[in-house]
Amino acid sequence: MVDFAGYSLPIQYGKEGIAASHLHARKHCAIFDVSHMLQTRIHGKDRIGFIESLTVADVIGLSENTGSLTVFTNEQGGIIDDLIVSKTNLDHLYVVSNAGCRHKDMPLMKQAETEWKSKGGDVTVEFVDDHGLIAVQGPEAVKIVQSLITKVDMTTLPFMGSLVTSVAGVEGCRITRCGYTGEDGVEISIPEKDTSKVTSALLESKAGTAQVTGLGARDSLRLEAGLCLYGNDIDETTSPVEAGLTWTIGKRRRQNGSDNFPGANIILNQIREKPSRKRVGLISKGPPARDHTKILDPISGEEIGEVTSGCPSPSMGINVAMGYVPASKAKNGTKLALKVRNRTVEAVVTKMPFVATNYYTAGSKK
Protein backbone atom coordinates (compact mmCIF):
# COMPACT_ATOMS: atom_id res chain seq x y z
CA MET A 1 0.00 0.00 0.00
CA VAL A 2 1.16 3.54 -0.72
CA ASP A 3 -0.08 7.01 0.14
CA PHE A 4 -1.57 8.68 -2.93
CA ALA A 5 -3.08 12.14 -2.51
CA GLY A 6 -3.99 11.26 1.06
CA TYR A 7 -5.51 7.88 0.15
CA SER A 8 -4.02 4.48 0.95
CA LEU A 9 -3.92 2.57 -2.34
CA PRO A 10 -2.46 -0.81 -3.38
CA ILE A 11 0.45 -1.05 -5.79
CA GLN A 12 -0.66 -4.63 -6.52
CA TYR A 13 -2.99 -7.31 -5.20
CA GLY A 14 -1.59 -10.62 -4.00
CA LYS A 15 1.70 -12.09 -5.18
CA GLU A 16 1.05 -12.22 -8.91
CA GLY A 17 3.20 -9.19 -9.67
CA ILE A 18 2.70 -6.00 -11.65
CA ALA A 19 3.75 -7.41 -15.05
CA ALA A 20 1.35 -10.36 -14.78
CA SER A 21 -1.52 -8.05 -13.76
CA HIS A 22 -0.65 -5.74 -16.64
CA LEU A 23 -0.81 -8.58 -19.18
CA HIS A 24 -4.07 -9.86 -17.69
CA ALA A 25 -5.58 -6.43 -18.37
CA ARG A 26 -4.38 -6.54 -21.99
CA LYS A 27 -5.79 -10.07 -22.51
CA HIS A 28 -8.83 -10.18 -20.22
CA CYS A 29 -10.16 -7.60 -17.75
CA ALA A 30 -8.82 -5.48 -14.89
CA ILE A 31 -10.86 -3.65 -12.28
CA PHE A 32 -9.30 -0.56 -10.67
CA ASP A 33 -10.73 1.15 -7.61
CA VAL A 34 -10.48 4.84 -8.54
CA SER A 35 -12.91 6.14 -5.92
CA HIS A 36 -10.26 8.66 -4.89
CA MET A 37 -10.92 10.64 -8.08
CA LEU A 38 -12.90 13.86 -7.66
CA GLN A 39 -16.43 13.59 -9.07
CA THR A 40 -18.37 16.81 -9.62
CA ARG A 41 -21.77 17.80 -10.97
CA ILE A 42 -22.25 21.30 -12.38
CA HIS A 43 -25.84 22.55 -12.46
CA GLY A 44 -27.58 25.66 -13.81
CA LYS A 45 -28.40 27.18 -17.18
CA ASP A 46 -24.92 28.76 -17.40
CA ARG A 47 -23.10 25.51 -16.65
CA ILE A 48 -21.59 25.18 -20.14
CA GLY A 49 -20.30 28.74 -20.25
CA PHE A 50 -18.95 28.22 -16.74
CA ILE A 51 -16.87 25.13 -17.57
CA GLU A 52 -15.70 26.63 -20.87
CA SER A 53 -14.40 29.67 -18.96
CA LEU A 54 -12.02 27.34 -17.10
CA THR A 55 -11.09 24.76 -19.75
CA VAL A 56 -10.21 24.43 -23.46
CA ALA A 57 -13.13 22.08 -24.23
CA ASP A 58 -15.88 22.72 -26.78
CA VAL A 59 -18.70 21.57 -24.50
CA ILE A 60 -21.35 23.34 -26.56
CA GLY A 61 -20.36 21.13 -29.48
CA LEU A 62 -20.77 17.87 -27.56
CA SER A 63 -23.83 15.73 -28.16
CA GLU A 64 -25.91 14.91 -25.10
CA ASN A 65 -24.51 12.03 -23.04
CA THR A 66 -21.02 12.33 -24.49
CA GLY A 67 -17.84 13.70 -22.98
CA SER A 68 -14.35 14.92 -23.73
CA LEU A 69 -10.94 14.98 -22.15
CA THR A 70 -9.94 18.58 -21.41
CA VAL A 71 -7.66 20.63 -19.17
CA PHE A 72 -8.00 23.47 -16.69
CA THR A 73 -5.48 26.12 -17.74
CA ASN A 74 -3.84 29.03 -15.94
CA GLU A 75 -3.07 32.51 -17.29
CA GLN A 76 0.42 31.37 -18.32
CA GLY A 77 -1.04 28.61 -20.50
CA GLY A 78 -0.05 25.88 -18.05
CA ILE A 79 -2.20 22.88 -17.13
CA ILE A 80 -3.79 23.04 -13.67
CA ASP A 81 -5.32 19.57 -14.12
CA ASP A 82 -6.70 17.22 -16.76
CA LEU A 83 -10.31 16.08 -16.48
CA ILE A 84 -13.22 14.53 -18.35
CA VAL A 85 -16.37 16.59 -18.83
CA SER A 86 -19.57 14.79 -19.85
CA LYS A 87 -22.62 16.70 -21.13
CA THR A 88 -25.54 14.74 -19.72
CA ASN A 89 -29.24 14.86 -20.57
CA LEU A 90 -30.02 15.34 -16.86
CA ASP A 91 -29.49 19.11 -16.67
CA HIS A 92 -25.95 18.90 -15.32
CA LEU A 93 -22.37 18.34 -16.43
CA TYR A 94 -20.55 15.36 -14.92
CA VAL A 95 -16.86 16.00 -14.29
CA VAL A 96 -14.11 13.60 -13.15
CA SER A 97 -10.73 15.09 -12.21
CA ASN A 98 -7.60 13.95 -10.40
CA ALA A 99 -7.51 13.22 -6.69
CA GLY A 100 -4.03 14.69 -6.45
CA CYS A 101 -5.36 18.02 -7.72
CA ARG A 102 -8.55 18.27 -5.66
CA HIS A 103 -6.83 20.83 -3.42
CA LYS A 104 -6.62 23.05 -6.52
CA ASP A 105 -9.70 21.98 -8.48
CA MET A 106 -12.23 22.45 -5.71
CA PRO A 107 -11.32 26.06 -4.83
CA LEU A 108 -10.88 26.87 -8.53
CA MET A 109 -14.44 25.79 -9.32
CA LYS A 110 -15.96 27.26 -6.14
CA GLN A 111 -14.27 30.63 -6.68
CA ALA A 112 -15.47 30.70 -10.28
CA GLU A 113 -18.98 29.78 -9.09
CA THR A 114 -18.95 32.74 -6.68
CA GLU A 115 -17.78 35.08 -9.45
CA TRP A 116 -20.45 33.86 -11.87
CA LYS A 117 -23.20 34.22 -9.25
CA SER A 118 -22.00 37.74 -8.34
CA LYS A 119 -22.68 38.71 -11.96
CA GLY A 120 -26.12 37.08 -12.01
CA GLY A 121 -24.98 33.76 -13.44
CA ASP A 122 -26.95 30.58 -12.82
CA VAL A 123 -24.44 27.87 -11.86
CA THR A 124 -23.96 25.54 -8.89
CA VAL A 125 -20.97 23.27 -8.27
CA GLU A 126 -21.75 20.03 -6.39
CA PHE A 127 -18.89 17.79 -5.26
CA VAL A 128 -20.09 14.17 -5.24
CA ASP A 129 -18.92 12.49 -2.03
CA ASP A 130 -21.45 9.64 -1.87
CA HIS A 131 -20.36 7.65 -4.94
CA GLY A 132 -17.50 5.24 -5.49
CA LEU A 133 -15.79 4.93 -8.88
CA ILE A 134 -14.31 1.84 -10.53
CA ALA A 135 -12.60 1.42 -13.91
CA VAL A 136 -13.26 -1.83 -15.77
CA GLN A 137 -10.69 -2.23 -18.56
CA GLY A 138 -9.65 -4.82 -21.13
CA PRO A 139 -11.02 -6.79 -24.10
CA GLU A 140 -13.50 -8.66 -21.88
CA ALA A 141 -14.55 -5.60 -19.83
CA VAL A 142 -17.68 -4.58 -21.71
CA LYS A 143 -18.85 -8.19 -22.06
CA ILE A 144 -18.61 -8.56 -18.30
CA VAL A 145 -20.44 -5.29 -17.66
CA GLN A 146 -23.15 -6.23 -20.18
CA SER A 147 -23.77 -9.46 -18.26
CA LEU A 148 -24.90 -7.36 -15.28
CA ILE A 149 -27.16 -4.87 -17.03
CA THR A 150 -30.44 -5.44 -18.86
CA LYS A 151 -31.65 -1.96 -19.85
CA VAL A 152 -28.76 -0.96 -22.12
CA ASP A 153 -27.15 -2.53 -25.19
CA MET A 154 -23.47 -1.66 -24.72
CA THR A 155 -22.83 -1.83 -28.47
CA THR A 156 -24.77 1.44 -28.75
CA LEU A 157 -22.57 3.27 -26.22
CA PRO A 158 -19.70 4.97 -28.11
CA PHE A 159 -16.27 5.84 -26.79
CA MET A 160 -16.72 8.77 -24.35
CA GLY A 161 -20.47 8.06 -24.21
CA SER A 162 -22.10 8.23 -20.76
CA LEU A 163 -25.43 7.12 -19.32
CA VAL A 164 -27.15 6.18 -16.06
CA THR A 165 -28.56 2.68 -15.57
CA SER A 166 -28.67 -0.16 -13.06
CA VAL A 167 -25.71 -2.52 -12.69
CA ALA A 168 -26.06 -5.80 -10.80
CA GLY A 169 -29.42 -4.54 -9.56
CA VAL A 170 -27.97 -1.29 -8.22
CA GLU A 171 -29.83 1.75 -9.55
CA GLY A 172 -28.23 5.10 -10.29
CA CYS A 173 -24.91 3.90 -11.70
CA ARG A 174 -23.27 6.16 -14.30
CA ILE A 175 -21.35 4.23 -16.97
CA THR A 176 -18.86 6.17 -19.10
CA ARG A 177 -17.02 4.40 -21.92
CA CYS A 178 -13.48 5.54 -21.24
CA GLY A 179 -10.45 4.54 -19.22
CA TYR A 180 -6.73 4.97 -18.71
CA THR A 181 -5.22 1.87 -20.28
CA GLY A 182 -5.72 2.18 -24.03
CA GLU A 183 -8.15 -0.74 -23.91
CA ASP A 184 -11.91 -0.71 -24.37
CA GLY A 185 -13.72 -0.39 -21.08
CA VAL A 186 -15.80 1.79 -18.80
CA GLU A 187 -15.72 3.77 -15.62
CA ILE A 188 -18.72 3.20 -13.35
CA SER A 189 -19.79 5.71 -10.72
CA ILE A 190 -21.73 3.77 -8.09
CA PRO A 191 -23.65 4.79 -4.94
CA GLU A 192 -21.02 4.38 -2.25
CA LYS A 193 -22.83 1.78 -0.17
CA ASP A 194 -23.12 -0.52 -3.20
CA THR A 195 -19.64 -0.13 -4.71
CA SER A 196 -18.40 -3.41 -3.20
CA LYS A 197 -21.56 -5.23 -4.33
CA VAL A 198 -21.11 -4.17 -7.98
CA THR A 199 -17.37 -4.90 -7.92
CA SER A 200 -17.97 -8.39 -6.51
CA ALA A 201 -20.60 -9.09 -9.16
CA LEU A 202 -18.14 -8.10 -11.90
CA LEU A 203 -15.47 -10.38 -10.46
CA GLU A 204 -17.94 -13.27 -10.26
CA SER A 205 -19.34 -12.83 -13.78
CA LYS A 206 -18.92 -15.83 -16.10
CA ALA A 207 -18.71 -13.54 -19.15
CA GLY A 208 -14.96 -13.11 -18.70
CA THR A 209 -12.11 -13.19 -16.22
CA ALA A 210 -11.81 -10.01 -14.19
CA GLN A 211 -9.14 -9.25 -11.58
CA VAL A 212 -8.77 -6.38 -9.16
CA THR A 213 -5.60 -4.56 -10.14
CA GLY A 214 -3.39 -1.99 -8.42
CA LEU A 215 -1.60 1.25 -9.22
CA GLY A 216 1.54 -0.44 -10.55
CA ALA A 217 -0.16 -2.00 -13.58
CA ARG A 218 -2.37 1.05 -14.05
CA ASP A 219 0.77 3.15 -14.49
CA SER A 220 2.50 0.80 -16.95
CA LEU A 221 -0.71 0.36 -18.96
CA ARG A 222 -1.28 4.10 -19.32
CA LEU A 223 2.37 4.65 -20.27
CA GLU A 224 2.19 2.04 -23.04
CA ALA A 225 -0.93 3.90 -24.25
CA GLY A 226 1.02 7.18 -24.32
CA LEU A 227 -1.27 8.82 -21.75
CA CYS A 228 -0.15 11.60 -19.43
CA LEU A 229 0.07 11.40 -15.65
CA TYR A 230 -0.59 14.73 -13.99
CA GLY A 231 2.38 15.88 -11.93
CA ASN A 232 4.78 13.87 -14.09
CA ASP A 233 4.06 14.49 -17.76
CA ILE A 234 1.92 17.61 -17.42
CA ASP A 235 1.76 20.36 -14.82
CA GLU A 236 1.31 24.11 -14.43
CA THR A 237 4.52 24.81 -16.37
CA THR A 238 3.42 22.68 -19.35
CA SER A 239 1.00 23.87 -22.04
CA PRO A 240 -1.43 21.58 -23.87
CA VAL A 241 0.46 22.27 -27.11
CA GLU A 242 3.83 21.24 -25.66
CA ALA A 243 2.20 18.15 -24.17
CA GLY A 244 0.74 16.97 -27.48
CA LEU A 245 -2.79 17.73 -26.28
CA THR A 246 -3.65 20.35 -28.90
CA TRP A 247 -6.46 18.04 -30.05
CA THR A 248 -8.32 18.79 -26.80
CA ILE A 249 -8.75 22.42 -27.89
CA GLY A 250 -11.96 22.59 -29.89
CA LYS A 251 -11.93 24.36 -33.28
CA ARG A 252 -14.49 26.88 -32.05
CA ARG A 253 -12.34 27.63 -29.00
CA ARG A 254 -9.32 28.32 -31.22
CA GLN A 255 -11.31 30.79 -33.30
CA ASN A 256 -12.75 32.80 -30.40
CA GLY A 257 -9.60 34.75 -29.57
CA SER A 258 -7.35 35.51 -26.62
CA ASP A 259 -10.14 36.02 -24.03
CA ASN A 260 -11.49 32.56 -24.76
CA PHE A 261 -10.04 30.64 -21.78
CA PRO A 262 -7.20 31.21 -19.28
CA GLY A 263 -3.86 31.46 -21.08
CA ALA A 264 -5.53 31.42 -24.51
CA ASN A 265 -3.22 34.08 -25.94
CA ILE A 266 -0.11 32.01 -25.11
CA ILE A 267 -1.63 28.66 -26.12
CA LEU A 268 -3.07 29.89 -29.43
CA ASN A 269 0.24 31.55 -30.28
CA GLN A 270 2.01 28.22 -29.69
CA ILE A 271 -0.40 26.55 -32.10
CA ARG A 272 0.42 29.17 -34.75
CA GLU A 273 4.17 29.45 -34.15
CA LYS A 274 4.90 25.92 -32.84
CA PRO A 275 6.25 25.35 -29.31
CA SER A 276 9.96 25.30 -28.53
CA ARG A 277 9.70 21.88 -26.86
CA LYS A 278 7.50 18.81 -27.25
CA ARG A 279 6.52 15.69 -25.33
CA VAL A 280 7.89 12.64 -27.13
CA GLY A 281 7.91 8.87 -26.74
CA LEU A 282 11.23 7.10 -26.25
CA ILE A 283 12.26 3.45 -26.46
CA SER A 284 15.54 2.10 -25.12
CA LYS A 285 17.32 -1.07 -24.03
CA GLY A 286 19.36 -1.78 -20.91
CA PRO A 287 18.38 -0.30 -17.53
CA PRO A 288 15.00 1.47 -17.76
CA ALA A 289 14.73 5.25 -17.50
CA ARG A 290 12.47 6.61 -14.78
CA ASP A 291 11.10 10.11 -14.22
CA HIS A 292 13.77 12.82 -13.90
CA THR A 293 16.26 10.82 -16.00
CA LYS A 294 18.30 13.29 -18.06
CA ILE A 295 17.93 13.22 -21.86
CA LEU A 296 21.19 13.94 -23.68
CA ASP A 297 22.32 14.85 -27.17
CA PRO A 298 24.11 11.64 -28.21
CA ILE A 299 26.96 13.50 -29.94
CA SER A 300 27.73 16.43 -27.64
CA GLY A 301 26.51 14.83 -24.40
CA GLU A 302 24.64 18.06 -23.65
CA GLU A 303 21.52 17.76 -21.49
CA ILE A 304 18.54 18.66 -23.67
CA GLY A 305 15.56 17.39 -21.69
CA GLU A 306 14.19 15.12 -18.99
CA VAL A 307 12.16 11.93 -18.83
CA THR A 308 8.79 12.44 -17.15
CA SER A 309 7.60 8.80 -17.06
CA GLY A 310 9.33 5.53 -17.84
CA CYS A 311 9.18 1.78 -17.21
CA PRO A 312 9.91 -1.61 -18.76
CA SER A 313 7.00 -2.44 -21.08
CA PRO A 314 5.42 -5.80 -20.13
CA SER A 315 3.69 -5.97 -23.53
CA MET A 316 6.72 -5.15 -25.67
CA GLY A 317 9.71 -6.42 -23.68
CA ILE A 318 11.61 -3.15 -24.09
CA ASN A 319 11.81 0.07 -22.10
CA VAL A 320 9.37 2.88 -22.85
CA ALA A 321 9.42 6.44 -21.62
CA MET A 322 8.06 9.92 -22.26
CA GLY A 323 9.81 13.22 -21.85
CA TYR A 324 10.29 16.73 -23.20
CA VAL A 325 12.92 17.66 -25.77
CA PRO A 326 13.51 20.65 -28.06
CA ALA A 327 11.18 20.64 -31.06
CA SER A 328 14.20 20.16 -33.31
CA LYS A 329 14.85 16.78 -31.62
CA ALA A 330 11.22 15.59 -31.57
CA LYS A 331 10.98 13.89 -34.96
CA ASN A 332 10.27 10.15 -34.86
CA GLY A 333 13.47 8.17 -35.39
CA THR A 334 15.74 10.80 -33.82
CA LYS A 335 18.52 9.14 -31.83
CA LEU A 336 19.07 10.46 -28.31
CA ALA A 337 20.75 9.24 -25.12
CA LEU A 338 19.60 8.74 -21.54
CA LYS A 339 21.67 9.06 -18.37
CA VAL A 340 20.51 6.06 -16.33
CA ARG A 341 22.32 5.37 -13.04
CA ASN A 342 25.55 6.95 -14.32
CA ARG A 343 25.32 4.93 -17.55
CA THR A 344 24.57 6.43 -20.94
CA VAL A 345 22.09 4.33 -22.91
CA GLU A 346 20.82 4.78 -26.45
CA ALA A 347 17.22 5.90 -27.02
CA VAL A 348 15.08 6.59 -30.07
CA VAL A 349 12.16 9.01 -30.39
CA THR A 350 9.13 6.86 -31.18
CA LYS A 351 5.52 7.49 -32.14
CA MET A 352 2.96 7.05 -29.37
CA PRO A 353 1.01 5.11 -28.31
CA PHE A 354 3.67 2.46 -27.93
CA VAL A 355 0.96 -0.25 -27.89
CA ALA A 356 -1.99 0.19 -30.27
CA THR A 357 -5.13 1.38 -28.52
CA ASN A 358 -8.41 -0.54 -28.68
CA TYR A 359 -10.93 2.23 -28.02
CA TYR A 360 -14.45 1.32 -29.11
CA THR A 361 -15.62 3.11 -32.27
CA ALA A 362 -18.68 1.14 -33.41
CA GLY A 363 -21.92 2.84 -32.45
CA SER A 364 -20.38 6.32 -32.72
CA LYS A 365 -22.50 8.89 -34.49
CA LYS A 366 -21.07 9.91 -37.82
Could you list the pLDDT tens digit for every one of the 366 residues in the chain?
Answer: 888 777 788 999 988 899 999 999 999 999 999 999 999 999 999 999 999 999 999 999 999 999 999 999 999 999 999 999 999 999 999 999 999 999 999 999 999 999 999 999 999 999 999 999 999 999 999 999 999 999 999 999 999 999 999 999 999 999 999 999 999 999 999 999 999 999 999 999 999 999 999 999 999 999 999 999 999 999 999 999 999 999 999 999 999 776 789 999 999 999 999 999 999 999 999 999 999 999 999 999 999 999 999 999 999 999 999 999 999 999 999 999 999 998 999 999 999 999 999 999 875 443
85 and 199 co-located in one domain: yes
Q: Tell me, yes or no, if the pTM score tops 0.75.
A: yes
Domain limits at 114? 2-223
Longest dimension (CA), the chain: 64
31 and 175 co-located in one domain: yes
- In the three-class reduction of DSSP (H, G, I as helix; E, B as strand; rest coil), residue 218 is classed as helix
- Domain total in the chain: 2
DSSP 8-69: EE-S-STTS-HHHHHHHHHHSEEEEE-TTSEEEEEESTTHHHHHHTTBS---TTSPTTEEEE
153 and 283 co-located in one domain: no
Cα separation of 169 and 278, whole Å?
47
Asked if 283 contacts 319 with a C-beta cutoff of 8 angstroms, the reply is: yes
123 domain residue, yes or no: yes
- Burial string for 294-319 (b: 16+ CB within 10 Å, else e) reads bbbbbeeeeebbbbbbbbebbbeeeb
Of the candidates 100, 159, 170, the residue with the CA atom closest to the CA atom of residue 132: 170
Asked if 297 contacts 283 with a C-beta cutoff of 8 angstroms, the reply is: no
Q: What are phi and psi of 47, to 5 degrees?
A: -60, -35
199 and 283 co-located in one domain: no
CATH number for position 294: 2.40.30.110
178 and 91 co-located in one domain: yes
Angstrom distances, CA of residue 318 to CA of 117, 217, 292, 314: 53, 16, 19, 8
